[in-house]
């Protein structure tokens, strides 16, 4: 990648905010536009899930501001983060809001964009590879396979208050989606698996939990709906994680390219 290549991309302007997805972890999964933004920004407001290696692309004089949010731990309030972006933009900075995964997939990018609109701050959205797709691919699990599923449901395991979302129609999800991909679900895995089983999913249906996806700390647990809670405790795994339920999970036995000699 040369400066000539990066020179073809849109440029960050003072007083503008870019909401950018950094992908699921591996810095190689940054888009070229995301890498260009990191190289250009005056201030980078980043999440906990952004790999530190991605931030090494920043200018030496760039300011890095941590705005991570982790369930159950003290963290910045979303409204405060959004207003901080406004403040930095009004100071004439080139502002990069860098998020793990994709800013519009359970990343609260929409909330931040609405705040920027409210305060007349110009912005650009740069999508990133979401963990529910890229993270599973690194575990050798395809989100779709024509012999298994023609639909997939993505959902979050907790809402803004930290509990299992009541607005999810669990019965419909259980009955209508052959493959279910869940973000932020480990904390309430017992409740979620119980609801899915009560809604008709088989207790022995395959489940995979992918922690720290696409990084050198990646761990994968294969289990079942009825055993997921206990097996997670025994394995001692902790978030961040993506949970997938369905018939694509056993395909990992063949498609786990990292274990077959692939390089990360």
From 12, 93, 99, 184, the catalytic residue: 184
Known catalytic residue at 198? no
Residue 182's DSSP bridge partners are 155, 243
Assess contact for 95 and 16: CB atoms under 8 A.
yes
**In degrees to the nearest 10, what's the CA dihedral of 218, 222, 224, 226?**
-60
Known catalytic residue at 175? no
User: What distance in Å separates the CA atoms of residue 11 and residue 238, rounded to the nearest whole number?
Assistant: 38
Assess contact for 141 and 208: CB atoms under 8 A.
yes
Three-state DSSP class for 63? Answer: strand
From 12, 26, 42, 47, the catalytic residue: 47
Known catalytic residue at 69? yes
Three-state DSSP class for 70? Answer: coil
From 69, 231, 251, 256, the catalytic residue: 69
Assess contact for 112 and 33: CB atoms under 8 A.
no
Three-state DSSP class for 23? Answer: strand
Nearest to 204 by CA among 223, 179, 220: 223
Catalytic residues: 47, 69, 184
């Amino acid at each position: 990648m040369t400066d000539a290549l990066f020179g073809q991309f849109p440029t960050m302007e003072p007083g503008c905010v870019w909401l950018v997805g950094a992908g699921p972890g591996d810095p190689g999964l940054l888009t070229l536009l995301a890498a260009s933004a990191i190289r250009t920004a005056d201030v980078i407001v980043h999440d906990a899930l952004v790999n530190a290696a991605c931030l090494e692309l920043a200018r030496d004089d760039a300011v890095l501001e941590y705005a991570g949010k982790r369930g159950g731990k003290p963290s910045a309030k979303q409204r405060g983060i959004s207003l901080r972006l406004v403040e930095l933009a009004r100071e004439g900075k080139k502002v990069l809001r860098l998020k793990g995964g994709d800013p519009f997939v359970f990343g609260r990018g929409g909330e931040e964009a609405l705040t920027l609109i409210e305060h007349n701050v110009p912005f650009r959205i740069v999508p990133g590879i979401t963990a529910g797709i890229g993270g599973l691919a690194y575990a050798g699990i395809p989100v779709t396979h024509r012999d298994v599923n023609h639909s997939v449901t993505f959902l979050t395991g907790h809402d803004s208050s930290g509990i299992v979302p009541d607005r999810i129609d669990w019965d419909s999800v259980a009955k209508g989606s052959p493959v279910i991909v869940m973000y932020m679900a480990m904390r309430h895995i017992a409740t979620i698996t119980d609801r899915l089983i009560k809604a008709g999913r088989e207790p022995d249906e395959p489940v995979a939990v992918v922690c720290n996806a696409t990084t050198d700390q990646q761990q994968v647990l294969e289990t079942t709906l009825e055993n997921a809670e206990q097996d997670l405790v025994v394995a001692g795994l902790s978030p961040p994680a993506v949970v997938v339920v369905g018939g694509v999970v056993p395909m990992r036995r063949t498609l786990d390219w990292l274990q077959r000699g692939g390089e990360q």
